[in-house]
A and B are shown apart, each in its own frame.
Chain A
Amino acid sequence: MLRDEIPPGTLYLLILKTLSVRGKLHGYEIAESIERHTEEILQVEEGSLYPALQRMLIKGWVTAEWGVTAGNRRARYYTLTAEGKKQLHIEVSQFERVMGAITRVIRTA
């Protein structure tokens, strides 16, 4: 069960996508979702998650509000904003562009 580190600059992309799919999540749920989805290949370090979330709050890509979990605990839920959705598109296309280019290089025999 090797754990690779998340390629730099893609954390935002992953968080944005996760939120766009799952809607409203709190910090732990976001981390967990990414882990599960990648079958634990990618692990989100808490040390990078929270700063990233703060930055996304600053940039206006997400909003946060307090809610209650299933187990009746107070948690902060993050949701995507319209701006965030736009940013997601931008990041996805950028990622695909870069990945496509890299793939092309690799594929040349």
Chain B
Amino acid sequence: MSYLAKTIGELIRRLRMLFRRRQLDQDLEEEMRLHLEFRRQQQIESGLSPLAAGQAAHRRFGNVARLKEKSIMTWGWEGLESFLHDAAYGARALLRSPALTLVALLSLALGIGANTAIFSLLDAVMLRSLPVEDPAQLVLLGKGDTSGITDDFARTDLYSYPFYRQMQQKNQVFSDTAAIFSITSGGHGFVEGRTESETMNVQLVSGTYFQTLGVSALIGRTLNEADDDSEGDHPVAIISYGWWKRSLAEDPNVLDRKLKLGSTIYNIVGVAPAEFFGTKVGEAPDMWIPLSMSKQVPPNYGGYKDNFSESLLIIGRLKPGVSVGHATSNVDLLFHQILLGFPDAKLSQENLQKLRKTQVALHPMATGVSELRHKFSKPLQILMAVVALVLLIACANIANLLLARSTVRARELAVRQALGARRARLVRQLLTESLILALSGGALGVAFASIADRVLLHLLSGGPETIPLDISIDLRMLAFTFAVTVLTAILFGIIPAIRATNLGLTDALKDGRSPQAAGTRNPLARALVVSQVALSLVLMVGAGLFLRSLVNLSEIDTGFNKENVLRLEIDSSSAGYTPGEPREVALDQQIEERVSALPNVKAASFSAFTFHEGSWNSPVLVPGVNLGQDINVKHNVIGNGYFATMQIPLLAGRNFSPSDTRASQHVAIISEHMAKIIFPLGNPIGRRYGLEDEAPENQVTVIGIAKDVKFGYLTEEPVNVDYIPYTQHPWGFGDFEVRYTGSFAPMATAVQHAIRSIDPGLPISGVTTLDEQVARSLTNQRLVAQLCTFFGLLAVLLSSIGIYGLMSYVVSRRTNEIGIRMALGAARASVRWLVMRELLSLVAIGVGIGIPAALAGDRLIASMLFGVKSTDPSSLLTAVALLLLVAVFAGYVPARRASRVDPMEALRCE
């Protein structure tokens, strides 16, 4: 028989024995008895008396019980058996003190659950690999943290389609290369046969996308090179599993269905697997369409043949055996070659120098790209630290509880030791009890975490649409939880276990209580409570700082009036309007007019952007003036009513008017800051400058100066912004804002009704207020502030439980002393003060340790604070005051109990 077969057979036999344990015991017992009997018989035959024979037989046999145990031990299950035995024993012991167990379980559940929830978030955003084949071999050119379209020379993060093609053909280090459009267009389209438009988030990708990632279709096929080889005539789409489920109800004939996006009809040729969501963490496109269709898909970005329309991320799969260093040098070389080789490259002195200094860096793509990651990486790490501290506090509580219990069990443990149990064995048993407690707490914690995860995702999304992030509890999470649980059990179990078994046996047996406990338990318990107070202080100070930061941020003047403004998006390009066409402009104007005429509407306007929505930037040039360096300006294409709607004051000049049409002189209004930068001397009104270059068709005349506004972030420095009327510059997919009085809901309905009355086929989405838009830009800070406050308060709660527990114990120990004092005439108040004094000294020490710890820790978060120093004294004082209050409250009840002690009872209880 092979070795493997033998081992398996053995294992099966061993396992079977587990179930017949008791039977084996009896069998052996009987067998040995018989053997003894035979031996005795033999001794009698050799001449001994029956009594002597019996003794001789026993002597030869040895210790029967021991022998039986030894025989059973050969089956190898001793470890497991003793563990199970300990576990059952521990469970019974825990059930005997239900209040203590409940408190411990809750503390554990909250601590472990919080850790699991935050970790699952951290994992999903930062650590998890893409659900593709061998993600470790994927690399990205550049960092992947930009999205948009640009024509800057020598950019290493975004590339043009022709560049991608050349890189694909010429490189020697990638087995596959793919390009991904960096913006996921949130457009609308029609499923063939339906009259209502639906949201369709489209991801434009190269034909090699799925092949590079190693993803095969669930149904049908994925995109291939043939879909991407010529512009405009490959109307195919791969849909996501989620969209197939949501929108097509998992129609099995999905490959016969068609979609209409813009004015093109697309065939659905495949469905992606369920776990595939693309390559951007936090986004889940509904469909993937080849880049050859980029001009057809609204908002019709185009750029298929444009050497310098740089909007793509490029990823590659390393050939086996190729190192990243080797790939980097090959890619970098090609980067320079390809750019220099483009016939329309602007090879100015400046650009050449820029190119010389630029190097392409390859970044690992195993975890995908993510804007979420950049936004939340630091906050998540901070939160992870916070929940770890909360867990430590919970552990301290449980350790204290276990210490208290162990003094009560001193007699039991003493008896067992006197009977010969090794100390290590008892410690093992106590640890097993801790493990049972921790595992139950952990299981509860997992349940808690799955609820908390939903809340967390909602907080993270910071708006009505939930981010498509999969943070459900999976195997990795469970493994993490299990590890944390075991660690926790050891942490809070080991010291009480060692203390409990360190007994002077005679004393313990006599007394039923360990007299050492009075001496040894108190310093340890005190130390635990002190550390709880210190940690809680650290957390509360941190929470206070974040809260104040958040408040400061929300009070920043945005430059516009964010109250009472309704904002929504109209996707006219999906409804067949081409941006810039007279028909589209007329539509916009009609909508503005009709909505402005509604009751309670003060003003209404279209615009490309409102706040925190990205930007369209380009450098500007003043003809004849050397500005010294690249002046980058953010452009906003707006309607005439924009300034009135947003209540941005015009500091000079005039607003756009109906006289500014397509045919008339091209005009622009510039922001204060921009005016100072490009026209530092004299009056900017009437001066001209060029958008992007000196070509006459890109020149505009300044007709007004607007007050500075915040454009992207509340914390940004003043930016250069200029405004252009939409009659003079095409813009398809933008915002529509309405300033109103009264309440939001009826206004929202009225506005949408008005829009639909003009063209019922216009898809409207993202209906919200400007206020909410601004608030959304603070999601990061709000998340941290809210969660830190929650955990800070939780920590304080746990600490107060710990204080209560300790004080109760102290009082019970000193009952005797208190009785004597009261018998000798001490007032109740002075007894209360006795207890409180003890408590206050503990809290004082805790605070004393906590303050420097808080100051040190806060230095780490200083970069995340706004408008408040990390050493802010008022936050410190508030936290200290709160802790003192809570501590006093927690200690008051035991103190009162102490003062209520009946002196006669106390004296009797010796």
Chain A interface residues (CB < 8 Å from chain B): 26-28, 31-32, 45-47, 50-51, 53-55, 57-60, 66, 69, 73-76, 83
Q: Which of B17-45 contact A (CB under 8 A)?
A: 27-28, 30-32, 34-35, 37-39, 42
B34 partner residues in chain A, CB cutoff 8 A: 26-28, 69, 73-75
Closest Cβ–Cβ distance, residue A45 to chain B (whole Å):
8
Q: Determine which of B30, B61, B74 lies in contact with A54 in the assembled complex, contact meaning CB atoms within 8 Å.
A: B74
Chain B interface residues (CB < 8 Å from chain A): 1, 6, 9-10, 13-14, 27-28, 30-32, 34-35, 37-39, 42, 60-62, 67-68, 70-76
CB-defined A-B contacts under 8 Å, sample of 28: A26-B35, A27-B32, A27-B34, A27-B35, A28-B35, A32-B42, A46-B32, A46-B35, A46-B67, A50-B32, A50-B68, A50-B70, A50-B71, A51-B67, A51-B71, A51-B73, A51-B74, A54-B75, A57-B13, A60-B9, A60-B10, A73-B34, A74-B34, A75-B31, A75-B34, A76-B30, A83-B1, A83-B6
Q: A28-B39, A76-B27 are in contact. Are A54 and B72 (CB under 8 A)?
A: yes
Q: Is the CB of B10 within 8 A of A58?
A: yes
Closest Cβ–Cβ distance, residue B2 to chain A (whole Å):
12
Closest Cβ–Cβ distance, residue B24 to chain A (whole Å):
9
Closest Cβ–Cβ distance, residue A33 to chain B (whole Å):
12
A57 partner residues in chain B, CB cutoff 8 A: 13
Q: Determine which of A55, A69, A75 lies in contact with B74 in the assembled complex, contact meaning CB atoms within 8 Å.
A: A55
Q: Is the CB of B31 within 8 A of A76?
A: yes
| Nearest B-chain residue to A35, judged by Cβ | B42
| Nearest B-chain residue to A59, judged by Cβ | B10
Q: Determine which of B31, B68, B70, B72 lies in contact with A27 in the assembled complex, contact meaning CB atoms within 8 Å.
A: B31
| Nearest B-chain residue to A82, judged by Cβ | B1
Q: Is the CB of A46 within 8 A of B61?
A: yes
**A58-B13, A75-B31 given; 9 more Cβ-contact pairs under 8 Å:** A27-B35, A46-B35, A50-B28, A50-B32, A53-B71, A54-B74, A57-B13, A58-B75, A69-B34
| Nearest A-chain residue to B76, judged by Cβ | A58
Closest Cβ–Cβ distance, residue A63 to chain B (whole Å):
10
Closest Cβ–Cβ distance, residue A71 to chain B (whole Å):
9
| Nearest A-chain residue to B38, judged by Cβ | A28
A53-B27 Cα distance, complex, nearest whole Å = 13
Q: Is the CB of B70 within 8 A of A51?
A: yes
Q: Is the CB of A46 within 8 A of B60?
A: yes
Closest 7 A/B residue pairs (Cβ): A28-B38, A54-B74, A50-B71, A28-B35, A54-B71, A76-B31, A47-B62
A32 partner residues in chain B, CB cutoff 8 A: 38, 42
Closest Cβ–Cβ distance, residue A89 to chain B (whole Å):
14
A73-B41 Cα distance, complex, nearest whole Å = 14
Q: Determine which of B30, B39, B67 lies in contact with A74 in the assembled complex, contact meaning CB atoms within 8 Å.
A: B30
A78-B38 Cα distance, complex, nearest whole Å = 17
A107-B507 Cα distance, complex, nearest whole Å = 67
| Nearest A-chain residue to B24, judged by Cβ | A54
Closest Cβ–Cβ distance, residue B656 to chain A (whole Å):
93
Q: Determine which of B13, B68, B71, B76 lies in contact with A60 in the assembled complex, contact meaning CB atoms within 8 Å.
A: B13
A27-B529 Cα distance, complex, nearest whole Å = 62
| Nearest A-chain residue to B60, judged by Cβ | A46
| Nearest A-chain residue to B34, judged by Cβ | A75
A45 partner residues in chain B, CB cutoff 8 A: 62
Q: Is the CB of B62 within 8 A of A46?
A: yes
Q: A26-B31, A73-B34, A74-B30 are in contact. Are A50 and B1 (CB under 8 A)?
A: no
A27-B60 Cα distance, complex, nearest whole Å = 15
B75 partner residues in chain A, CB cutoff 8 A: 54, 58
A53-B13 Cα distance, complex, nearest whole Å = 14
Closest Cβ–Cβ distance, residue A61 to chain B (whole Å):
11
B6 partner residues in chain A, CB cutoff 8 A: 59-60, 83
Of B6, B71, B75, the most chain A CB neighbours within 10 A belong to B71
A54-B351 Cα distance, complex, nearest whole Å = 85
B42 partner residues in chain A, CB cutoff 8 A: 32
B60 partner residues in chain A, CB cutoff 8 A: 46
Closest Cβ–Cβ distance, residue A54 to chain B (whole Å):
4
Closest Cβ–Cβ distance, residue A73 to chain B (whole Å):
6
A51 partner residues in chain B, CB cutoff 8 A: 67, 70-71, 73-74
| Nearest B-chain residue to A30, judged by Cβ | B35
A74-B30 Cα distance, complex, nearest whole Å = 8
B13 partner residues in chain A, CB cutoff 8 A: 57-58, 60
B32 partner residues in chain A, CB cutoff 8 A: 27, 46, 50
Q: Is the CB of A58 within 8 A of B14?
A: yes
| Nearest B-chain residue to A60, judged by Cβ | B9
Closest Cβ–Cβ distance, residue B320 to chain A (whole Å):
46
B67 partner residues in chain A, CB cutoff 8 A: 46-47, 50-51
Of B28, B68, B76, the most chain A CB neighbours within 10 A belong to B28
| Nearest B-chain residue to A66, judged by Cβ | B27
A27-B9 Cα distance, complex, nearest whole Å = 24
| Nearest B-chain residue to A27, judged by Cβ | B35
A50 partner residues in chain B, CB cutoff 8 A: 28, 31-32, 67-68, 70-71
| Nearest B-chain residue to A43, judged by Cβ | B60
Closest Cβ–Cβ distance, residue B33 to chain A (whole Å):
10
| Nearest A-chain residue to B30, judged by Cβ | A74
A66 partner residues in chain B, CB cutoff 8 A: 27
| Nearest A-chain residue to B13, judged by Cβ | A58
A83-B9 Cα distance, complex, nearest whole Å = 11
A55-B70 Cα distance, complex, nearest whole Å = 11
A55-B9 Cα distance, complex, nearest whole Å = 13
| Nearest B-chain residue to A75, judged by Cβ | B34
| Nearest A-chain residue to B9, judged by Cβ | A60
B38 partner residues in chain A, CB cutoff 8 A: 28, 32
A75 partner residues in chain B, CB cutoff 8 A: 31, 34
